[in-house]
Every structure is written in C-alpha cells, then in structure tokens.
Structure 1
Amino acid sequence: MRPPVPRTAAPVRNSGPAQGRTGLPGLDRFNTAPSAEAEAALLGCSGSRRWAQRLAAHRPYPDLDALLAAADEAGYDLPPADLAEALAAEVSPGLHHAAPPSAHLALRAAHAAYECRFGHVFVICLDGFEPAERPDQVLAGIRARLGHDPDQERVVTAEEMRRLARGRIIGLISGS
C-alpha cells in the first residue's frame, strides 16, 4: 500500500478537500466503493491508515452526519502513533505565490519555530475564514500555540486534525 499523498494542512486558497484524493462524490458511491478505493479516498482526508480503515470498514453510512460522527469518534480514538502518521502526511500551510517575499520569510520562520518546538508541521482548520484572512490566521495561530506546552499542543493539534478531516470528508462526499 502506498503512502498518502501529502497535502496542505491549511491551504490559503481553500481549506476544503485534500489534493490527490480519489474522486468519490456522493455518499452512495462512497458506501459501495471497493474497500481499497474508499480507504484511499479517506487517506486524502487524514493520513492515518487506521482511521481510514476503520471508517471504510463501518460502511454503509445512512447519511453524511453519521459518517462525520464516525470520523470524529475515530479521530478521538487515535493513538499518538496514528496521529503522528496523519501529521506526517500534512504540509505546512503557505502563502499565495504572489505574496510579498517578506511575508513568505515571516511564515517560513514561524513554521520553523513551531516545528522545532513540537516536532511536526503546524495544522489549522481555516473553514469560515475568507481567503484574505487566512495568512494572518495562520501566523496568529502559530504565535499563540508556540506558548503551549507539548501536552496542550497535542490536544489542540488533534482537534485541528479532526476539523480538517471533517471538512475534507464533506468535500469528498459532495464532490467539491
């Protein structure tokens, strides 16, 4: 089985579905897809194989809410090694290529400080924020979370990963 395709944790353009997912629009299609195809699509939502296998194994889901509830439950149950696997598939959020060079430098420095402190990429769910607000939210999030102790940040990171997975599942099922 090949590793999941890395994706941006909080793309500045959109915090919706992950890149590289296999297109499975529609809950019926997801419910009836071969297990390997469903797992591959789910790995585009979260890089934890155990999480993807668990969700695929519990199909069919009667509706999107049931799938999202199962995703949340599986996310809450992720052991540290599986969370680390999911984080390894993420890519630090960046800026649009047309952003000023100084902004790119500031964001790279912030990401480097975060990764040095916590040992993994910074993840943040930016659903609900306008594209123009997202870079500031990323920088503010990094700055605020650098003050966390490792245990506190582990909890926040796990919650952000669950929120990202939910948004990606909605995009996967809706086909957007």
Structure 2
Amino acid sequence: MLSRPSDSPRTPSAPRFLRSPRSSRSARPPGQRASAAQAPPAATGDAALLGHLNAAPAGVAEGALLACCGSRRWARLIAAHRPYPDLGALLAAGDEASYDLSPADLDEALADEAVVEQLPAVIPMDGAGALAAHTALRAAHAEYERRFGHVFVICLDGLHPDEMRNRVLAEIHARLDNERDAERAKAAEELRRIARGRLVRLISGPLQLSGIPRFRPA
C-alpha cells in the first residue's frame, strides 16, 4: 500500500487546455482487467487535447487528472504511465488505477466529492414540491453519512437534470440497506464510473459532472 507523500501537493491550476470549471481495494470480478477495447475511440478533434495531456509536465497533468478523481495516487499513476496512444488506453489506465485504490486512497477520493451539494446548481428550487424533495434528499444523505462515514456518490452520466434528484434519493434509500463493506465497494465502483466519464470530458472539452459544475468542497 502506498501512502500519500507529504511533498506532493495538489497543483493549484492547469493550463487553459486542461482547466475545468471544475475499499478496501475495489472489488474486481475474477479475471477482470481494464480493457481499452471497452472504451469509445477518441474523436479526431480530441487528439490534440490528448497530446497536450501526454506532453504536460507531471505536476500539471496530475492537477488536471485530480479533477477526475480526488485520489492523488490515482492521478500520479495515470500521469506516470503517459503517453497514451488514444482515449481508450487512457480510460483503461483510469479503470486500472481505480481498481487499485487502497482504503486511504478511497477515503481521499470520497472526501473530494459533493454530489448532493452540487444538485441545486442544475435543478431549480422553485416551488414547495422541489424544496420538499431537496429537504428529503439532504435528510437521507445525512443518514447515509451517519451510517457509512462518507458522502454518497453515484454516477449521473446520461441523466437529464430533472431525473437526477429522484435517482439520487432512490439510490441513497436503497443503499442504506447495504453492509458497510459492500457499500464501500459500491462507492468505489461509482467513483470509477464517474472518473471514466470525467476523463472523456477532459479530453473532449469542458469537464463537467452530468452538467453539474465540478468543484471541491471547502
């Protein structure tokens, strides 16, 4: 297990071409490994952005990759294995690094997420019904954090903003019944899926979480 070195601070910013608005070991089915064949090919216009990521200094690349997953070790592993010939290879490396998160790495990545707090950015809070729904969501999330000791994470890629709140609320309630180890494995898998989508957006253009501006909680 690799511990986080104290001399590896987060890079405060990345150049414009990479800048964004900002469980134990994850369970991997026997014999499963990340495969570049599972990834969509990079569009022709994305090749230049991938080339910039490949050529960027290590600290700059790690800073950009931290916008995809909050584990410093995850970002270092992907940066260290450059250059990547295409998006598929980059996504395979992201999956592999996600499978290799230590308990401490997973805790660090989870601490960097704030899905529930981000929802109001894309879901209007007009009307008593919307306010009541968001109040219920925050109450459910508080119970989730009390039970598991970390924030709730879920990949929302592909969902319309109108569907997000109901999906998150339903999933929180369903996952509250999980055992602690099972939920950490589920959270790690959701982080892997989230990171995969963010890598695609990092290479394709503005980095967003299903339309939700990416930011780090204070």
TM-score interval, smaller chain: 0.7 to 0.9
Which residue of structure 2 aligns with residue 9 of structure 1? none
How many corresponding residue pairs? 161
Whose RCO is larger (CA < 8 A, sep 6+)? 1
Per-residue CA distance 1:122-160 (angstroms, 9 max, x = gap): 000011222211111100110100000001101110000
Shift of 1:97: 4.5
Check whether the contact 1:4–1:43 (CA below 8 A) recurs between aligned residues.
Answer: no
Per-residue CA distance 1:36-84 (angstroms, 9 max, x = gap): 1100000000000000000001000000000000000010011110000
Question: 1:155 pairs with 171, 185, 189, which one?
Answer: 185
Unaligned 5+ segments in structure 2 are 1-8, 14-18, 23-47, 207-218
Question: 1:72 pairs with 92, 95, 118, which one?
Answer: 95
Shift of 1:26: 1.3
Which residue of structure 1 aligns with residue 44 of structure 2? none
Does residue 107 in structure 1 map to residue 134 in structure 2? no
Which residue of structure 1 aligns with residue 79 of structure 2? 56
Check whether the contact 1:19–1:44 (CA below 8 A) recurs between aligned residues.
Answer: no
Q: Which amino acid aligns with 1:166?
A: R
Does residue 140 in structure 1 map to residue 166 in structure 2? no
* C-alpha distance in 1 between matches for 2:12 and 2:151: 16
Check whether the contact 1:27–1:173 (CA below 8 A) recurs between aligned residues.
Answer: yes
When normalised by structure 2's length, the TM-score is: 0.70
Check whether the contact 1:4–1:47 (CA below 8 A) recurs between aligned residues.
Answer: no
When normalised by structure 1's length, the TM-score is: 0.85
Structure showing greater Rg: 2
Shift of 1:104: 1.9
Report sequence identity in percent.
59
Which residue of structure 2 aligns with residue 84 of structure 1? 107
Check whether the contact 1:35–1:57 (CA below 8 A) recurs between aligned residues.
Answer: yes
Shift of 1:19: 3.8
Does residue 98 in structure 1 map to residue 125 in structure 2? yes
* C-alpha distance in 1 between matches for 2:11 and 2:176: 29
Check whether the contact 1:72–1:162 (CA below 8 A) recurs between aligned residues.
Answer: yes
Per-residue CA distance 1:71-123 (angstroms, 9 max, x = gap): 00010011110000001111132332425221221111011011001000000
